């Protein structure tokens, strides 16, 4: 009899250990990346790392500002493209789509989410970049922010759609009925009551999309050109900044880790630390927003 309960206790502690494994992994990741990044953080210093505009390891320059700029540009472009399409699709799914069509769009969104990033990168490289290269702008190689932004937009679209749709579905039906009963059209009701009520969920969706965008690596390095420069317009037209090549924080790591050593390697780890902290911050914010909404509508 006692053996049964002993076994039970043992199992319980084993499982407890498993539960903490995720937390442990998180800590380990933080610790080890920090450790490897330490030499760079000490010798170069966080300030010079974060604000230095020149990344030239050969000459001892380790400024990652160009990569921060690159990541931000690409993320911004992708969100600007994906938000209207994603929100529109979400509203369509929840408010407009006849039943059968929802059964087509929803799996399509899931599939989009499942396609590996290399495939998106390949597609971008072989179809999008040549297309953009045709634009008559000097020094336009096709590779650059726009190409990466478009590819990234397609990649974050599923996240935006799914989470926004969840937020829209969570809006109480009574709001919709109350609005329609006043003689307000469905369209007006969507934008006057439903979407505003789902606001925090939609913002959380955007934030999560941003997190996803910042974390993407392989697709980026295949289409963005990977020049570690701060993006500038290629001609007098300011819009051509979108055709400038760039490098993302993630790309920085992937492109150079293969042959980096010493301080350079350490600086790459430092880039990893910056990424890690950034994403943690972003996801934490989204979690807060989503959590608040969940308890508010309860």
Regarding 214 and contact with other proteins (CB under 8 A), the answer is yes
Q: Which lies closer to other proteins via its Cβ, residue 234 or residue 265?
A: 265
Q: Which of residues 141-160 bind other proteins (CB under 8 A)?
A: 154, 157
User: Cα(206)–Cα(14) distance, rounded to whole angstroms?
Assistant: 38
CA distance linking residue 103 with residue 111, whole number of Å: 13
CA pair distance 257, 41, nearest whole angstrom: 17
- Candidate residues 125, 145, 234, 267; the one interacting with other proteins per rule CB under 8 A: 125
254 vs 217: CA distance, rounded Å: 7
Under rule CB under 8 A, residue 201 binds other proteins: no
In sequence order, what are the beta bridge partners of 62?
A: 55
Let me know the angle formed at the C-alpha of 172 by 171 and 176, rounded to the nearest 5 degrees: 90
Binder among 245, 250, 267, 289 for other proteins (CB under 8 A): 250
How near is the Cβ of 102 to other proteins at its closest, in Å? 9
Give the one residue of 54, 61, 117, 227 binding other proteins; rule: CB under 8 A: 117
Instruction: Point out which span in 60-68, 78-86, 133-141, 227-235 binds other proteins (CB under 8 A).
Output: 78-86
Given candidates 42, 80, 111, 294, which one binds other proteins under the rule CB under 8 A?
111
Calculate the alpha carbon distances from 161 to 47, 108, 125, 143, 266 in Å: 38, 11, 25, 27, 38
**86, 201 in Cβ contact below 8 A?**
no
Q: Which stretch binds other proteins (CB under 8 A): 15-23, 42-50, 137-145, 232-240?
A: 15-23
Nearer to other proteins, 11 or 232 (CB): 11
Rounded distance between C-alpha atoms, residue 39 and residue 270, angstroms: 9
Footprint on residues 81-110 left by other proteins (CB under 8 A):
84-89, 91-93, 96-97, 99, 101, 104-105, 107-110
């Amino acid at each position: 009899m006692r053996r049964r309960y002993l076994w039970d206790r043992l199992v319980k502690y084993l499982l407890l250990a498993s539960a903490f494994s995720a937390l442990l992994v998180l800590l380990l990741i933080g610790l080890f990346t920090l450790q490897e990044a330490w030499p760079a953080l000490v010798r170069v210093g966080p300030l010079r790392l974060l604000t230095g505009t020149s990344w030239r390891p050969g000459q001892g320059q380790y400024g990652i500002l160009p990569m921060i700029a690159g990541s931000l540009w690409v993320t911004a472009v992708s969100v600007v493209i994906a938000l209207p399409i994603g929100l529109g699709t979400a509203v369509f799914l929840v408010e407009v789509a006849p039943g059968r069509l929802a059964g087509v769009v929803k799996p399509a969104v899931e599939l989009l989410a499942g396609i590996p990033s290399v495939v998106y990168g390949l597609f971008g490289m072989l179809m999008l970049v040549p297309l953009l290269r045709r634009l008559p702008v000097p020094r336009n190689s096709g590779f650059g922010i726009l190409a990466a932004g478009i590819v990234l937009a397609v990649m974050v679209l599923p996240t935006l759609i799914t989470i926004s749709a969840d937020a829209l579905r969570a809006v109480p039906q009574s709001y919709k009925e109350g609005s329609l009963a006043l003689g307000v059209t469905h369209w007006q009701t969507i934008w006057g009551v439903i979407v505003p009520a789902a606001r925090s969920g939609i913002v959380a969706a955007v934030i999560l999309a941003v997190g996803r965008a910042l974390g993407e690596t392989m697709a980026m390095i295949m289409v963005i050109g990977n020049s570690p420069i701060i993006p500038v317009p290629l001609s007098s037209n300011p819009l051509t900044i979108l055709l400038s090549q760039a490098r993302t924080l993630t790309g920085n790591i992937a492109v150079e880790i293969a042959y980096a050593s010493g301080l350079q390697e350490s600086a790459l780890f430092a880039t990893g630390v910056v990424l890690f902290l950034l994403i943690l911050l972003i996801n934490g914010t989204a979690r807060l927003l989503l959590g608040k909404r969940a308890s508010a509508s309860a």
